Every structure is written in C-alpha cells, then in structure tokens.
Amino acid sequence: MTEAVLETVDVVRHLGHGAGEVQALKGVSLSLSGGELVLLMGPSGSGKTTLLSVMGCLMTPTRGIVRVRGRSTAGAGPEDLAKLRRDHIGFIFQSYHLFPTLTVEDNVRLALDVRGQRFRRAKIAARESLAMVGLAHKTKAFPIELSGGEQQRVAIARAIVGNASAILADEPTGALDTQNGQAIMTLLAQIAKDQSRGVLVVTHDPRILPFADRIVHIEDGRIVSEEPGERSKEQRVRRS
C-alpha cells in the first residue's frame, strides 16, 4: 500500500435544519490508500453513505478536513469539487446509474467526455476499460439489454476509465445474486491491486468480506472498529 489517496480528519457533518438537524458524522478520521480495498460496514443510518459522500467530494463537511491525494478540499466551491471528482474519484452505485439512452460504450466514454477528452482517444479508452471488465463484446448494447451484473461491470468500467485514484462503491453487490456479486468483488479486488488506486466499498453484504484488506465499522456517526480483512491476512501469511 502507498500514500493515502483519500483522507478524512475529524470530520463532522450535520444533516437537515432546525429541529430536524442530525449529526450524521461525529468526528470521523479515515484514510484510503493506494492498493487497498476497504470495506465500510455498519447498520442503516450509521453514517456510511454520508461518509462516502464526504470522501467523494459530493458533500462538504461541516467541520474537519478532507484531503484528496494530500490536497485539502477546504474552501473548494461546487465546480472545484466537481473537478476533483472527475480527476481523482470514480463512483459505483448500487443501482448502477447508467444512462438508459446511451450505449454501453457511450456510458463509459461519458466519464471522459465530461473532462473534455477528444472523441477518438476517449473511444479507445472506453473500449479498453470495457475489455478490462469483460464486456468488450457489448460496446453497442444498451443498458436495458444487459443483466444486473453486466450493468454493474459497465459502471465499474466508467469508474476506472479516467484512471481515478479512488473508487468509491456504494453497495455494489446489493442488487446482485451471489455469483454476480462475487464476480464484481473479484473485479474490484483486481483494481485495488494497482498501487495507485484505492477502493472503498460500503456494504452490508458479509459474503464480500474475503475481498477486504481492511474492514471499518461505523456506528452512530463514529468509527467504532477497524480490523484487517481476509485478503490482508492472506497476504501476510503468503509473505511469512
């Protein structure tokens, strides 16, 4: 593992206003390093998604520091945060969030198009990315023509096509059966082997524990425990 690609230091985040205001994060410090796959687990309402949003620069913290590749996001406006996201962060969502009217290739290319990358280069990169997730033969298909597992693989291709240093996944196996879930996690684990990339996965799914380098438990807006994952243990055994 290398330096932290994403880091939060003592982050507090309030949600809602007035009487309905809640403190969703109560001083969370967490880092994601290149070459590791971290699972973020916790019960519903524990602050997992809020933490993912803050780490993904989709939400600004009420207090505390967020760093993307060592650079603080303090004072960044919405457009600055958007630039940080397109340059450094890839997202994978439970419900895929693909564009139904675009082909698989265009869905992946979109991540490069928003960066203003030229058509030809973007097209080649999108095809390479799709080949990496095993969908080289489905470039012209539309999302509706794909299975859930295939759609999630397209989402992964979109997340990695721009060489993001952090991949943030929200329940990526939540809508998939065991076989497809395992395939997706195998793919994410492979991505996390790249020392320049870290993968943070929010999950409830205990079936994916074997893929983790580190497991972080969050409850009531606080990190309550951190433990090495199976993959990390295996690596240590292999090394010894």
CB of 122: closest distance to another protein in angstroms? 9
- 52 binds another protein per the rule CB under 8 A: yes
Q: Contact with another protein (CB under 8 A): which of 26, 67, 69, 83? A: 83
Find the helix packing angle between 104-113 and 119-132, rounded to 10°: 120
Sketch the per residue contact string, 98 through 127, with another protein: x for CB under 8 A, - otherwise: -x-xx---x--xxx-xxx---x--------
CB of 18: closest distance to another protein in angstroms? 18
153 versus 231: smaller Cβ distance to another protein: 153
Q: Contact with another protein (CB under 8 A): which of 85, 138, 197, 214? A: 85
CB of 93: closest distance to another protein in angstroms? 6
- 78 binds another protein per the rule CB under 8 A: yes
CB of 113: closest distance to another protein in angstroms? 4
CB of 46: closest distance to another protein in angstroms? 14
CB 128 within 8 A of CB 59: no
Residues near another protein (CB under 8 A) are 49, 52-53, 56, 58-59, 78-79, 82-87, 89-91, 93, 95, 97, 99, 101-102, 106, 109-111, 113-115, 119, 158, 170
